[in-house]
Amino acid sequence: MKLVREVDEMDIATEYDVLVVGGGIAGMEAALNLADMGFKVLLVEKEPSIGGKMILLSKVFPTLDCASCIATPKMAATAHHPNITVLTYSEVEEVRKVKEGLFKVKVLKKPRYVKEDLCTGCQQCEFKCPVTVPDQFNYGMVARKAIYIPFSTATPRIALIDIDNCILCGICEQVCPADAIDFTEEPVEYEIEVGAVIISTGFRLFPAEKMPNYGFGRFKNVITSMQMDRLLSPTRPYNTILRPSDGRIPDKIAYVLCTGSRDKSVGNPLCSQVCCMYSIKQAQLLMGALPLADIYIFYIDIRAFGKGFEEFYNQAKAMGVNFIKGKIAKIIEKENGNLILRYEDIDDGGKLKEEEFDLVVLSVGLLPNPEIRKIFVHPSLELDEYGYVKVLDEELSPAKTNIDGVYVAGTATGPMDIPDSIISAGSAAAEAASYLSRYREKAVEVRE
């Protein structure tokens, strides 16, 4: 059952200047920019915590700054800003434009089965819960409980029950010192009015199982780059790098660049813009974590186009990372879990070669998140030919969509790295502020 909140029982305001959809780095930046200008912002995030992909990363290229050390203060600033209301574990169901400066929005808040105002994040429920399932925030490499806090830096730090896997044993209810467990919670629908909308719904990771010749999902020691970023991060699942099949520390690791990028055969002709650099970043971090390991990067071309990127690439070469120009045709698993990579060595006259590795990392590309289109019931939102939110003018107005008053920030509009996502968020916030200054007051006056 879905409860529709009546206006007089709303626990949040019913009117905001701006709705921001998606609380990754781009959404948080856009919300903070607008809130600092005095606008009231509602930020809606579908996951139980804000932070997006960035909070799950290890370090960032090319500076090797710790990703969570940069993202956590932004998350805290967003959650505590007096002009920002954050609704996590919530989805925007519908956006309808009434007139310039006025959009009617429906938001569905999913039940956590844990009272947000009572939970202290003490994790007593999590420690005692008897159910274990794969942890989606560690990309299935370890388990989490059926009642859980998503990750150690989750914002807000509030538990939730994964009701599909809960066995209703009631242990969490017995051990919760704050009496916060509530199995009777229902989804709640809010009807809200806003003056403008910013879409910052980010990207999806290329599903590596779509390339069967690489064996992801079948060969235990083939993992994705996102899994490797988790293994290298300060909030990592184990204290070192272990290969999945037997928990051994790998001695020889291969990276397969352009997995699912620049490849029409899997429906993604675009360069994902970050894979070369994040693979070089991970290779450098691995050389620090496993000084005796040999690291190989198989590439088509290395795209090191940003400030300091070429130097970062040269630094990896100087550290001893092996770069081999050649596309991987096939990966074969041996009985001991090792992997044979068959490839064409372009710099050695295109010879076909084979090399054995302990662990293979697929540098997966970025894909669009096209579901956002369906929430715009009137007028409809246009996507570009790749499925990203279409911008009116790539060169002159990179944040404007086909709907006046709706702007786009970060990777919702195309592949980009964190600094570019932040610049894009600033642009969307400035466009929204300019639009609101033109229409918002008039819309509010007419309604009143």
Closest by CA to 399, choosing from 368, 425, 435, is 425
Centre a 10 Å sphere on the Cβ of residue 444 and count the other Cβ atoms it contains. Answer: 15
Please tell me the distance from the alpha carbon of residue 183 to that of residue 94, in angstroms, as a whole number. 27
Q: What is the pattern of x (binds ligand FAD, CB under 6 A) and - over residues 284-323?
A: ----------------------------------------
Q: According to CB under 6 A, which residues from 377 to 436 bind ligand FAD?
A: 410-411, 416-418, 421
Q: According to CB under 6 A, which residues from 235 to 274 bind ligand FAD?
A: 274
> Among all chains, which residue has been given the structure tokens 């590596």?
208
Radius of gyration of the chain (CA): 23
31 lies in the site for ligand FAD, by CB under 6 A:
no
279 lies in the site for ligand FAD, by CB under 6 A:
no
Inter-residue contact 275 to 225 (CB < 8 Å): yes
Please tell me the distance from the alpha carbon of residue 180 to that of residue 112, in angstroms, as a whole number. 10
Residue 355's beta-bridge partner residues?
A: 341
Inter-residue contact 398 to 427 (CB < 8 Å): yes
Phi, psi of 56 (to 5 degrees): -95, -5
Please tell me the distance from the alpha carbon of residue 39 to that of residue 254, in angstroms, as a whole number. 48
What is the closest distance, in whole angstroms, from the C-beta atom of residue 441 to ligand FAD in the complex? Answer: 28
226 lies in the site for ligand FAD, by CB under 6 A:
yes
Burial of 96 (0-12, 13-18, 19+ CB in 10 A): middle
Please tell me the distance from the alpha carbon of residue 181 to that of residue 147, in angstroms, as a whole number. 10
Which residue of 16, 39, 61, 439 would you call a contact of ligand FAD, by CB under 6 A? 61
Closest by CA to 256, choosing from 305, 221, 292, is 221
- Residue placing its CB nearer to ligand FAD in the complex, 47 or 382: 47
Centre a 10 Å sphere on the Cβ of residue 3 and count the other Cβ atoms it contains. Answer: 13
Contact segment (CB under 6 A) with ligand FAD among 8-16, 128-136, 196-204, 232-240 equals 196-204
Which residue of 20, 53, 299, 326 would you call a contact of ligand FAD, by CB under 6 A? 53
Phi, psi of 136 (to 5 degrees): -65, -25
Closest by CA to 149, choosing from 168, 125, 117, is 125
203 lies in the site for ligand FAD, by CB under 6 A:
yes
27 lies in the site for ligand FAD, by CB under 6 A:
yes
- Residue placing its CB nearer to ligand FAD in the complex, 33 or 369: 369
Q: According to CB under 6 A, which residues from 124 to 163 bind ligand FAD?
A: none
- Residue placing its CB nearer to ligand FAD in the complex, 66 or 175: 66
What is the closest distance, in whole angstroms, from the C-beta atom of residue 217 to ligand FAD in the complex? Answer: 18
369 lies in the site for ligand FAD, by CB under 6 A:
yes
189 lies in the site for ligand FAD, by CB under 6 A:
no
Contact segment (CB under 6 A) with ligand FAD among 4-12, 75-83, 202-210, 385-393 equals 202-210
- Residue placing its CB nearer to ligand FAD in the complex, 254 or 416: 416
- Residue placing its CB nearer to ligand FAD in the complex, 53 or 145: 53
Q: Please give the distance of CA 15 from its chain centroid, rounded to a whole number.
A: 28
Which residue of 16, 19, 24, 401 would you call a contact of ligand FAD, by CB under 6 A? 24
Phi, psi of 221 (to 5 degrees): -95, 15
Please tell me the distance from the alpha carbon of residue 328 to that of residue 215, in angstroms, as a whole number. 12
Which residue of 107, 258, 304, 372 would you call a contact of ligand FAD, by CB under 6 A? 372
What is the closest distance, in whole angstroms, from the C-beta atom of residue 130 to ligand FAD in the complex? Answer: 29
278 lies in the site for ligand FAD, by CB under 6 A:
yes
Note the residues at the interface with ligand FAD (CB under 6 A).
21-27, 44-47, 52-54, 57, 60-61, 91-92, 200-203, 205, 225-226, 229, 274, 278, 281, 369, 372, 410-411, 416-418, 421
